Structure 1
Amino acid sequence: MIDRDYCVTMARYNRWQNDQLETLLGALGSADLTQDRGAFFGSMLGTVNHIFWGDMMWMSRFDGGAGPEQPASESAQVFPTLAAWAAERFRLDGRIRQWALGIHAVDLAGNLTWYSGSAGREVTAPMGQLVVHFFNHQTHHRGQVHAMLTATGSKAPVSDLFLMPEQT
């Protein structure tokens, strides 16, 4: 289904997108960032917090490292400020990149089993499908941030994969 090159490309895409969001969101005031805009996670800051939380959760399953400290119900409140989010986002994006660079075909084969707090039960699914879900989850919620940014009259990030710079 997927291979190491897919994972590396998507890890690069993730970093590129987060760099753009940091710049664009940083141009807004705190009130704009935290205003409830009717999105699933309320505000722009709440949504990028949720993406971070989800990435931490999936990475803990993929690489065995640390997961989020907060429960899923608090995923939109991980960081109180954009600066705190940006510092930890940079670290997490490095972790994702390192994981992607070290992946082997055998790591993407077979199933992964874990206890899902959201589902309230143990779940088993194909590893390749879960990795696709991981990157798709980021893209889905960044699309919500994109819509919220444009609703403020702000510039939105360039998100077309084919426009990604060579080095990100």
Structure 2
Amino acid sequence: MITGQYCRTMAQYNQWQNNGLRNLIKAMDEEELRLDRGAFFGSIFGTLNHVLWADILWLSRFGAGDPPDVPAAQHRDMTPNKAEWDRLRFITDGRINTWAAGLKEVDLTGDLEWYSTMLDKTMRDPKTLCAVHFFNHQTHHRGQIHAMMTAAGQTPIDTDLSLMAE
């Protein structure tokens, strides 16, 4: 289904996109970031925290660190402000790149089993599907963030994978 190279490319894409968002977010008011815009996680900031929380959770499932310190029910409030989000996003993107850089094809074989607190049950899926979901989840929610930021008068960077620098 996928390879370690796919994961490395998507980790690089994730960091490129998040760096573009980080630059815009630094210039935005906290109030503007927290405005409920009718998205699934409400605000730009709530959605940013959701993606960050999920990234840390998936890294822990992949054996690349501890799970988030924040319980699932409070994930939208994972970070208290944009400076802390920026710091933790930077660290997490580095962790994602390190995880992907160390992947061998054998690391993507077999199933991954974990307990989902949100669903209150044990889950099991192929590791390749879990890795695809990990990156797809980021891209999906960044698309929502991109739309909210555009509506707020910001100009996010292009999202086309083919435009990413090597």
Q: TM-score range by the shorter chain?
A: over 0.9
Which position in structure 2 is the counterpart of 1:94?
A: 94
In 2, Cα distance between the equivalents of 1:76 and 1:126? 28
Q: Give 2:151's aligned residue.
A: 151
The answer to whether the 8 A contact 1:56-1:68 is kept is yes
Aligned residues: 166
Q: CA deviation at 1:157?
A: 2.3
Shift, 1:154, TM fit: 1.3
After TM superposition, give the deviation of residue 156 of structure 1 in Å. Answer: 1.9
Residue 44 (structure 1) aligns with: 44
Cα RMSD (Å): 0.9
Q: Which amino acid aligns with 1:51?
A: V
| TM-score, normalization by structure 2 | 0.97
Shift of 1:73: 1.3
Tell me the alpha carbon deviations over residues 39-87 of structure 1, each in whole angstroms, 9 at most, x when there is no partner: 1111111111110000000000102421101111111101111111111
Q: Secondary structure at the match of 2:93?
A: helix
CA contact (8 A) 1:24 1:157 kept: no
- Bigger drift between 133-142 and 148-157 goes to 148-157
In structure 1, what residue type is equivalent to 2:22?
E
**Counterpart of 1:117?**
117
TM-score, structure 1 normalization: 0.96
Question: Segments of 4+ in structure 1 off by > 6 A?
Answer: none
SS at match of 2:62: helix
* Deviations, residues 113-137 of structure 1 (Å, cap 9, x unaligned): 1111122111110000000000000
| Counterpart Cα distance in 2 of 1:63 and 1:8 | 17
Which residue pairs with 2:2 in the alignment?
2
Q: Which amino acid aligns with 2:145?
A: V
